[in-house]
Amino acid sequence: MTEWLERLEKGVEGIALEIVTLDKGDIPALGNIMNSLCRLEEDGQESGQSALQELIKALKSYLERLVLAEADDLNPLEEATGMLQSMVRTFRNGEVFQGDLSQLFRQLNYGGEGDRGGGSGAEGAQKSSAAAMSEEDRQIISDFVIESLENLGTIEVNLINLEQDPSDQETVNAIFRPFHTIKGVSGFLNLTKINRLAHNAENLLDKARNRELRVEGMVIDIILETVDTLKRMIEGVRESLEQGSSLDSGIDIGPLSGRIETILSESDLLGEKPLGEILIHKGAVDRQDVEQGLTRQKEEPEKRIGEILVEENKAETKDVISALRDQKKFSRQHIDLQVKVDTKKLDNLVDLTGELVINQAMLRQNKWVLSSKDQKLYHNLNQLNQITSSLQRTAMSMRMVPIRNTFQKMVRLVRDLSKNSGKEVVLEMEGEDTEIDRNVVEELYEPMVHMIRNAVDHGIELPEDREKSGKRRSGTVFLKAYHRGGHIIIEIRDDGRGLDRERILEKARSLQLMADESKMVDSDIYNLIFHPGFSTAEKVTDISGRGVGMDVVRKGIDRLRGRIEISSSKGEGAVFVISLPLTLAIIEGMVVRVGKERYIIPALTILESFRPEKKQYSTIEGKGEMILTRGRLVPLVRLDRMFGIQGDYTHPWEGLVVAVENDGHQRCLLLDELVGKEEVVIKSLGQGLKAVRGIAGGAILGDGRVGLILDISGIFEISQN
């Protein structure tokens, strides 16, 4: 029996088994059958049997209709599979198939060559434009775009890991699977170019998986280029959906596919899975020794080939152990099953949970409840409080995602930057499993990109310069994440030249950024780099030097209600420490009263609260009112005057002040009363009040009243004017 016929028979039997156990609407199972048919199609082409090829095409066409819910009858699938089995029996007997397929094609609603679903929405869009697609087809393609971009992100991360350890077969498998998924689904939707390019990449990885191809720098580069090209093509599909235009992005994949084919044709044999072949490839034994060992194994089946080779002094024990480890890496990975939830539904759940928390707090503070002596009522309220708190923690945890993906995207960035700059840079990471709010992760990406760029371009020296100063040629950028006090802390550290204090001062003087240089400590000086347009670079490069990066970082961190601190040692490197709230949906703050209004001061910004004595109050010409606290004069901010309300007290020593900090600077906020510490659910004030300076949002307090959350950085800006 020829090889193609043997593969064909095995493939048809596998498909027949899958169809017998198939349930209506089982999309994953339909996907498996489609992938099997794609492999079968290759064997059909090799056979040269036109009837077989047309029947496989008809089956694929009908499967597409099932996936798109344009058909739901599984009987034609069973009929077609039975016909495939009949064809295989005919070929095995050396005969030519003479059967009539016309009736079966009518059942499959197949019109012959060129028919791929008879005008399904996805295909119609491929041929013309997305404008003519049904809403159902648009949703299917939209889901494909979202999932494929996620898969490409996973591939990118794992490719970087593979470059560090090319022999790791588990990582190869983790890259192979997403490509396989993209190929299969794009085949359903007739996104031909995407399907073809994903198929080429899959072939490349299949060679690597079977140890027929060395995973080296060139292979990694071409797969990364494939990922980038697929991203552009899939983003093009998304744009076409929005604009109602053709799904064909117009990107020419010919040159890239040609380079992949060249690598495949020139691939070096790395050995096969059998232990003897692995040992031969490693150069540990000769082929003749393995063949003699296999002959002896037939006589002594209880002994393994490795044991025999060691006994006969044909191989070293350490070589056999190493080969066994390589062999074990072919075992299948466990795949965790997950349920994907629409982010809008998730955000809605969090919002509703927040409303429940607010109403539960209002219930506890109801005057009838407070005056009640019913112990059962108090017991029930305590149970409700525990359930509500547990539900809130669960809902918030569903928004939490590991920071791993954001960190690992930086690996690709460092790799590219080091190549472009001619430097040798390694990225080390710790705490990638630290969880953070999904929305925070999305906002954090851009600031981190700018900081990593600066670390590589300004921080890490050229290999020759590092050697001269007694360092290793390769520099290190270190990323670390961990939780501390209800916040997530992210450290970005490098072992480069560090920040040049004198150069920063010189640049700051030229920009007239300092009022009194003598009172500035190191942290104040380092914070000058966040000023818009500030750059100490001698020349502008492709990486940095225009003075916009760190300004973007500061604004991004401020938007997240976080803070950033810098420390540096000349010649040893710099450390940037970012502190962020775990979530953007809930804030821990101090509820304060000014007149009849309630405000919430974020707890992260509060240094202390106290009632000042009269002697602590003073006025300084050109600086206004000041409060002496801890040996330092701090400007006083009157919230009542700032927001145009009537406060209870005129003199600071009659009221209370809260010392707050932002960007290393301090202010004392004058208020009438500290109401208490509370976790509140943040509410947007809407578009109409979005531009109000000094206010970050609103919150419904336990007594049902609305409190305004203070934007401390905005208050600092207002007070400086």
Mark 7-37 as b/e (b = at least 16 C-beta within 10 Å): bbbebbeebeebbeebeeeeeeebbbbbbbb
Strands 435-437 and 487-494: unpaired
Residue 166 tokens, joined: 């090319």
Q: Please list the ranges in the chain whose pLDDT falls under 70.
A: 1-2, 111-132, 211, 216-217, 249, 265-274, 281-282, 302, 318, 321-322, 324-341, 485-486, 515-519, 533, 535-549, 582-585, 663, 684, 686-691, 702-704, 721
Mark 448-481 as b/e (b = at least 16 C-beta within 10 Å): bbbbbbbbbbbbbbebeebeeeebeeebbbbbbb
Stated as kind and residue range, the H or E segment containing 607 is strand 606-610
User: What are the phi and psi torsion angles at 695 (to 5°)?
Assistant: -120, 125
What pLDDT was estimated at residue 592?
Answer: 93
Give Cα 455 to chain centroid, integer Å.
Answer: 22
Interatomic CA distance for residues 586 and 699, integer angstroms: 10
Which residue, among 720, 443, 432, 489, has the nearest Cα to 604 in the 3D structure? 489
Averaged pLDDT score across all residues of the chain: 78
Strands 632-638 and 624-629: antiparallel
What pLDDT was estimated at residue 657?
Answer: 93
For the CA atoms of 67, 154, 240, 121, the dihedral, rounded to the nearest 10 degrees, stands at 0
Identify any residues that bridge with 610 across adjacent strands, giving them in sequence order. Answer: 657
Q: pLDDT by residue (tens digit) across 401-428? A: 788 878 877 887 888 888 888 888 888 8
Interatomic CA distance for residues 646 and 650, integer angstroms: 10
The full DSSP string for 269-293 is: P---SSHHHHHHHHTSS-HHHHHHH
Q: How many CB atoms lie within 10 A of CB 397?
A: 10
Interatomic CA distance for residues 176 and 155, integer angstroms: 8
- Tell whether the torsion through CA atoms of 518, 519, 525 and 528 is positive or negative: negative
What pLDDT was estimated at residue 611?
Answer: 92
Distance of CA 421 to CAs 110, 182, 216, 462, 541, Å?
Answer: 57, 34, 21, 9, 9
Q: Tell me the residue type at 191.
A: L
What pLDDT was estimated at residue 131?
Answer: 62
CB 592 within 8 A of CB 674: yes
The full DSSP string for 152-218 is: HHHHHHHHHHHHH-TT-HHHHHHHHHHHHHHHHHHHHTT-HHHHHHHHHHHHHHHHHHTT-S---HH
Stated as kind and residue range, the H or E segment containing 601 is strand 597-602
What pLDDT was estimated at residue 593?
Answer: 92
3-state secondary structure 639-685: HHHHHCCCCCCCCHHHCEEEEEEECCEEEEEEECEEEEEEEEECECC
Interatomic CA distance for residues 321 and 281, integer angstroms: 15
| pTM score | 0.49
Residue 547 tokens, joined: 């003075």
What three-state secondary structure class fits 50? helix
Q: Tell me the residue type at 721.
A: N
What pLDDT was estimated at residue 377?
Answer: 87
- Those residues whose C-beta lies under 8 Å from the C-beta of residue 608, and which sit 6 or more positions away, are 629, 658, 659
